[in-house]
Amino acid sequence: MQDHHYISSAVLDLEVIHDILKNRKKLALSDESRVNIEKSRTYLNNKIKASDAPVYGINTGFGALCNVKITPEKLTELQENLVRSHACGTGDSVSKPVIKLMLLLKIQSLSYGNSGVALETVERLIDLYNNDFLPVIYEQGSLGASGDLAPLAHLALPLIGDGEVHFEDSVISGAELLEKMNWNPVKLQSKEGLALLNGTQFMSAHGVYALLKAYKLSYMADLIGAISVDAFDCNLSPYDELVHMVRPHRGQVKTAERIRQFLKGSEIAESEKASVQDPYSFRCIPQVHGASKDTLSFVRKTIKTEINSVTDNPNIFIEEDKIISGGNFHGQPLALGLDYLAIALSELANISERRIYQLVSGLRGLPNFLVENPGLNSGFMIPQYTAASIVSQNKQLSTPASVDSIVSSNGQEDHVSMGANSATKLLKVVENLNSVLAIELFNASQAIHFREPAKTSEKLDKVIQSFRKSVPVLTEDRTMAPFIKKSKVFVDDFEVEEFLD
């Protein structure tokens, strides 16, 4: 197996990123990327020598200071001042996996030859990635418009011997890292600081991370939902292919197909039913889960475009002999997509909680709150409360950030996407969905115990037996929190071979 991923113009997509992360591949520049980077830098150097005309971010100030001309001998100082002054992050630290994705996506964006950075700068970013020297970055500070300025400034600080870095199991200063590695600080040339800070890599890294988690949780929602279907002794007819081919939304068709596969061979599913219809939280799993799948597909397309794009400013076009100041750093496509994804994942949790509620309600031959001797025992009464509180928080977190804006930089930057806020709250929704699905599995595995000796499908039985190694059937009241925690770990660690479809 190849142990390196070569940065190139080849499309970077979720499968490729999943492979890079799963197999802990190192990064390296392809010859194509090296040529593109060097040509762009040479073009920019020659352009500066040939003319002293003001070009935004190259020999001018930034934002509302764009009309202030900077002399050639001050250009390095200008770029380093930019990085230091913009490192204004606060709040919780960004997780290491997301920081690593930020590095990967920033390297990819700079590799196309439209940014004017020096090869040395990109190679140092690769060194940080390959050695897991991950800059300390904070969640708060980006408006998601002039690029993710504050978080990307923190990403860039170690290049110039500033900021902080995760080093093995500790945090050290950027200066200490240079000393330990015997590296010289990168001397930022014209435009380089701006190229590092302009970009959407904070938002897009969160989006990639959330999507990888979301695709797996979408699969788990189907799997756990199928266990609940048998636990509640539901009819199979709502999953019949004929129903879905007359309303063929792709996600709906896919979900129904999965449920049929999961329940194939189930004695419970194939038994005669006393109830003609089931509650919507069971009967409409294909429609609800499917709509979330279709949202995943839409957001995936948006993020795929974004991570294969140039999102700094200004952009260099060598063949056309143009340096153009535009707005590719504006995060509106991501902000809308990440808000949409949060809503879609919240709905998976919402319908999951409704199934939990039905399972503990003493219906379909199940005991009240899924426990023997209810009254003496409260059983699974309160895990439903926990799920309900989480689902309610998700509803609050699903209020779109992208409909907000605020004026900054003396009115120069008068519309912003707030996509960074969309990104950070999305990760909380992802975490919450994991928790609710874990509680559903906890309940459904208990409920299906009361269907014995009738059996569920072989596939689902294997899942349940594996789950019961850490979470047993409960015959009397126990402290529930440890079992919920173990359930969350089970869902998080569950191996799904192919889930990115």
Encoded amino acid at 127, one letter: D
> In this predicted structure, what is the pLDDT of residue 252?
98
Query: Rounded distance, CA 43 to CA 484, Å?
Result: 59
Among the options 43, 56, 209, 215, which is catalytic? 56
What is the pTM assigned to this prediction? 0.95
> In this predicted structure, what is the pLDDT of residue 64?
65
Provide the angle, in degrees to the nearest 10, between the axes of the packed helices 119-130 and 96-110.
Answer: 160
> In this predicted structure, what is the pLDDT of residue 50?
85
Residues 6+ apart with CB under 8 A from 17: 101, 104, 208, 212
Residues 6+ apart with CB under 8 A from 364: 232, 233, 275
- CA-nearest of 88, 216, 98, 250 to 492 is 216
> In this predicted structure, what is the pLDDT of residue 211?
98
Residue ranges of the chain whose pLDDT lies below 50: none
Domain ranges of the chain: 4-198, 206-493
Catalytic annotation on 219? no
Fold of 206-493: Fumarase C; Chain A, domain 2 (1.20.200)
* CB contact at 8 A, 295 and 252: no
Structural tokens at position 175: 């200066």
What string of DSSP letters covers 155-169?
HHGGGGT-SEEEETT
Provide the angle, in degrees to the nearest 10, between the axes of the packed helices 250-263 and 285-307.
Answer: 120
Query: Rounded distance, CA 179 to CA 163, Å?
Result: 14
Same fold, 4-198 and 206-493: no
Place of tokens 């002039």: 146
Provide the angle, in degrees to the nearest 10, between the axes of the packed helices 458-467 and 419-449.
Answer: 100
Measured from the Cβ of residue 126, the count of other Cβ atoms closer than 10 Å reads 18
Structural tokens at position 452: 């014995």
CA distances from 107 to 282, 300, 312 (A): 45, 20, 12
- What is the CATH code of the structural domain delimited by 4-198? 1.10.275.10
β-pair type (164-167, 170-173) = antiparallel
* CB contact at 8 A, 387 and 321: no
Quick check: helix, strand or coil at residue 57?
coil
